[in-house]
Chain A
Amino acid sequence: MRRLALPIAGAALVALLALIALNALRPGQQVTRAQTAAAIAAELRCPDCQSLSVADSHTPSAIEIRREVDGLLAGGASPDAVRQHFVERYGEWILLAPRSPLAWALPFLAILAGAGLLVIWLRPWRRAGDRAMPPQQAGPDAQLRQVRDEVEALDG
């Protein structure tokens, strides 16, 4: 099992990288402004909803933000500039997915740290396990032999 862990992890990593590369190499499609606007709206939090994106909501704020996204794109703003426009008003809160790479790395770091702690804690147990069997000569056979010898000595 242990010998398999590394190849499996390696294969998973290669598969993941291949997927990412394939995705990046996919022939570029013509994306309309409405599609870009919809994609950005799906990333923005609707201010007067509970955990809904601007794209999924029909509140007045969501409708106005959608209109503003489209207006900014029409004015030549890049998708990043449009996101920044709203971050400057609401803070990063408006983005449904955090921008900080740390936020994405943290769960994996936590898993790694947990695995490391497990290894540290389990290692002494394994070593103790190796030592757990008592030496052969101290077994019941030796005791039995000693008793027999002593009884024979008494008889003799």
Chain B
Amino acid sequence: MRNLRWLLVPIVVLPLTLLLFHGFGRDPREIPSPLIGKPAPSFSLVTLDGKTMSADQLRGRPYVLNFWASWCIPACVDEHPVLLQAQQRYGDAVKVVGVIYNDSPGAARAFLDRYGDGGWPQLTDEGGRLAIDYGVTGPPESYFVDAAGIVRAKQFGPLTLAAMDQRFSALLAASAER
């Protein structure tokens, strides 16, 4: 029975090590979205400029919903120039839509005045209903919806330049498939 001791490594130590390695290697707040591959939640909301915008209007063209807030510092501040770049680089093919998360329209306006308004629509989400429909847990979060209105990807945390290029081209490729 003594010689069974070598079993300790494969049946106890190895699985535990792998479990801990897996657990500590990821951000517990980064939860996978169950919406991937499903139709995007519909909405009809008012933008900061007072226009009404609905998900149906966006249909036929891929779009990115970016949930953000002026109090989300530094992540949203870091992400903002990347969004401005994305708008420049992909704006013709992909519509960028901001959603103001748990924030007042005034504070959001001030943020845009300070860090640059890219001119894309900014939806005011009173009560955060759209954020709940998307399962948003904290800004910034971005959801990539293809031309057919299917959610293709979720970006948790700020978009970096590299992530932006990768996400946007993947979205365009997915939309072109159809």
Alpha-carbon gap, A91 to B29, bound state (A): 12
A124 on the B face (CB < 8 A):
yes
Tell me the chain B residues, 35-78 only, with Cβ under 8 Å from chain A. 35, 41
A89→B133 contact, CB < 8 A:
yes
Is B1 a contact partner of A90 (Cβ separation < 8 A)? no
Interface size on A, residues (CB 8 A): 22
Q: Does A48 contact B (CB under 8 A)?
A: yes
The answer to whether A121 and B127 have CB atoms under 8 Å apart is no
**Which of A15-23, A34-42, A58-66, A132-140 lies at the interface with chain B?**
A58-66
**By DSSP majority rule, is chain A's interface helix, strand, loop, or mixed?**
helix
Which chain B residues border A65 with CB–CB below 8 Å? 132
**B106: Cβ under 8 A from any A Cβ:** no
Distance, CA A90 to CA B32, complexed state (A): 8
Q: A82–B120 Cα gap in the complex (Å)?
A: 35
Q: Decide if A90 touches B137 in the complex (CB within 8 Å).
A: yes
Complex CA distance for A121 and B2, rounded to whole angstroms: 7
User: Given A47-B137, A48-B137: A89 and B1 within 8 A (CB)?
Assistant: no
Within the assembled complex, what's the spacing in Å between the Cα atoms of A61 and B4? 54
Verify B137–A120 contact, CB threshold 8 A: no
Q: Does A68 contact B (CB under 8 A)?
A: yes
Minimum C-beta distance from A104 to chain B (A):
18
Q: Are B102 and A61 in contact (CB under 8 A)?
A: yes
- Interface on A for B, CB 8 Å cutoff? 47-48, 59-61, 63-65, 67-68, 87-91, 93-94, 117, 120-121, 123-124
* B interface residues, Cβ below 8 angstroms from A: 1-2, 4-5, 12, 31-35, 41, 102, 127-129, 131-138
